Amino acid sequence: MAADAGTFEERFDDLYRLAYRVAFRVVGSREEAEDIAQESLVKTCMSWRRVAAYAEAFTAKVAGGRAIDSWRRQRRRPEPETAGVTADTVDRVGVRLELREALAQLPRRQREVVVLRYLADVSEADVAAALGCSAGTVKQHASRGLDALRARLGPTRFLESV
């Protein structure tokens, strides 16, 4: 009989930092990123038995999805886009706007892979485990997703290193 190591409480700190990082990279608002991170951790905790083996990828996927949903809701509201944004530079705000638009337009699977691989820095193997597909499929989605981002964002330093 084999035991699966690590409890939710033991891994909470790392998972929270990860969820916050993913959320903040998309929404750019500290308060909102905190809410998203907390909600993501609640979902991870509820599903712990099932997702413990790939908890980082699962948490990042939930956080990324919620961050994009949150931005979509904001977009439908009349408030200015930068409401609630912390001390971001104009450059960062512009990149975030473009990034959200570009992510929102990707097919769902591509978006999940791009968020997990490049916003959450999750390994290919763990993305594959979280999404229930092969590492090859992850690589393919990542490649196509990046191409789409490049086409949308144009030359930007954020994509230079990939």
Partner 1 sequence: MFEDLDDPQAPAPSHQLRDTVVRIAAHRRMRRRLVVAAVAAVAVAVPVALVATRSAPERHFSVSSASDNRSTSTTRAPRAGSAKRATPAGRSAPPTTWNGVLHCDARPLATRQLTDKTLVSAQRFGRWIVTTHGAGDHQTLNVQDCSTNKSRGVPAPPPGRLCSEYGSLDMGADVLLYRCSYADGTHQVIANDLTKNTVTPVTEAPDRPWRSGSMAPGGAFVVFTGAGAVSAPSAPAPTDVFVFNLGAKTLDRLPRDIGGVADRSSTSAGISIDGRTVLVSTPPPPSRPDATEELYLFDRTTRQYSVVPTPDLVTGAVALSGDGRHVGFQAVPPTAGQGAAAYAFDFGDNDSAFVSLCAGPGSDADCAVHISEDGGTVTFTAQPCVSVTGTSDRTGCTYTFDRAKGAIHKDADATDTRDCTPPAG
Which residues sit at the interface with partner 1, rule CB under 8 A?
A: 1-6, 8-9, 12-14, 16-18, 20-21, 24-25, 28, 30, 33-34, 38, 41-43, 45-46, 49, 52-53, 56, 86, 92, 95-96, 99, 109, 118-126, 129, 134-137, 139-141, 144, 157-162
Per-residue H/E/C for 52-110: HHHHHHHHHHHHHHHHHHHHHHHHHCCCCCCCCCCCCCHHHHHHHHHHHHHHHHCCHHH
The CB density around residue 13, as the number of other CB atoms within 10 Å, is 9
Cα–Cα distance measured from residue 88 to residue 91, given in angstroms and rounded to the nearest whole number: 8
Residue for token pair 């949308």: 152
Distance between CA atoms of residues 149 and 7, nearest Å: 36
CB 80 to partner 1: min, Å: 19
Integer Cα distance of 102 and 156 in angstroms? 13
Residue 69 beta carbon to partner 1: minimum distance, rounded to whole angstroms: 18
CB of 111 to partner 1, least distance (A): 13
Q: Which is nearer to partner 1, 61 or 78 (CB)?
A: 61
Nearer to partner 1, 17 or 75 (CB): 17
User: What's the min distance (Å) between Cβ of 134 and partner 1?
Assistant: 7
CB neighbours of 48 closer than 8 A, spacing ≥ 6? 8, 55
To partner 1, the closest distance from the beta carbon of 139 in angstroms equals: 4
In terms of CB distance, is 78 or 132 closer to partner 1? 132
* Nearer to partner 1 (CB atom), residue 78 or residue 127: 127
